[in-house]
Copies of this chain bind each other. A is one copy, B any other.
């Protein structure tokens, strides 16, 4: 038989005060005598008292929990983001409840959001950079703080995002600067905003330089699909420079190139995106674009917290610029 966990009134009784005074001590209210505060704190530690968040949530109407809606937390990008966000939230005294979603469809996203809402989360972060996520957000109660990460740039929702366009530019410009006449692109799935942004940056840069714009090779985010695209690219002699929408795709491309005996970077240059920890040990070490996930996490948490505290919806959007990491996979064309 387990005994009931100690509640506020038990602490109060032991300290010889009312439960309200205990509450005041716990919440750091002013107007509590130092001596009383100490007595209460002693009682708390003696009983091993832990405040019941559920009761607090019930009476205040808001929990100290942040809900996250994430798409595929197995990928390096989302996983990094989630981890960074969780750490930042913990520092601010918030717990994080993740709701992964298997599919991109609207109903499953809505279901996850509903679950968060039922728990009366203080705010929601949506890390689901696809069209359907934006749609699902449309028909949501507007009275809850919400931040979208890598979401739809056109939607009137607070948004913090990696500057995908800038990333695409960085990669493409780097290859052009190395002397390549044009750059081929292996993109991510069409419905991801990440893909669209990177394509836009790539295309812009090409056009601004007066270079020919080759057709986009569309893949998913996997090395396997990168490999398939890479096989086509490897067979096309005029291809000398490739920008892939992430590092996994780059690995697949690298592999296909290797199989076809096309040497990197001597014959073909490759630039990736993400700077996964492994990228420096690809063969050859991969030049890539590094998004700063820590900053994205901090900024999005900040946006969420200001909404929670002030109740204001600034409809801000913050853009974090990525940086180019140069390694050995780029060289001038022969």
Contact of A95 with B79 in the complex, beta carbons under 8 Å: no
For this chain, the copies found in one complex come to 2
Does A117 make an interface contact (CB < 8 A)?
A: yes
Nearest residue in B to A3 (C-beta to C-beta)?
Answer: B143
Contact of B95 with A280 in the complex, beta carbons under 8 Å: no
Q: Digit string of A239-271 for contact with B (CB within 8 Å is 1, else 0)?
A: 000000000100110110010000000000000
Docked Cα-Cα span, A278 to B227, in Å, equals 11
| Shortest distance from the beta carbon of A106 to any chain B beta carbon, whole Å | 17
Contact of B51 with A227 in the complex, beta carbons under 8 Å: no
- Cross-chain contact of A79 among B53, B79, B119, B143 (Cβ < 8 A): B79
Docked Cα-Cα span, A114 to B51, in Å, equals 10
Does A182 make an interface contact (CB < 8 A)?
A: no
Does A50 make an interface contact (CB < 8 A)?
A: yes
Q: Which residues in B have their C-beta under 8 angstroms from that of A80?
A: 74
Contact of B50 with A117 in the complex, beta carbons under 8 Å: yes
| Shortest distance from the beta carbon of A129 to any chain B beta carbon, whole Å | 17
Q: Digit string of A98-134 for contact with B (CB within 8 Å is 1, else 0)?
A: 1110100000000010111111100000000000000
Docked Cα-Cα span, A114 to B45, in Å, equals 13
Q: Which residues in B have their C-beta under 8 angstroms from that of A83?
A: 72-74, 100
Nearest residue in B to A57 (C-beta to C-beta)?
Answer: B54
Contact of B224 with A118 in the complex, beta carbons under 8 Å: no
Which residues 266-291 of A sit at the B interface, judged by CB distance below 8 A? 277-278, 280-283, 285
Contact of B100 with A278 in the complex, beta carbons under 8 Å: no
Q: Which residues in B have their C-beta under 8 angstroms from that of A282?
A: 251, 255
Q: Which 6 A-B pairs have the closest CB atoms?
A: A54-B57, A223-B281, A255-B281, A54-B58, A79-B79, A2-B143
Q: Name 13 A/B residue pairs within 8 A (Cβ), A-sorted.
A: A52-B58, A54-B57, A54-B63, A54-B119, A65-B119, A73-B86, A74-B79, A74-B80, A86-B100, A224-B280, A226-B281, A248-B278, A255-B281
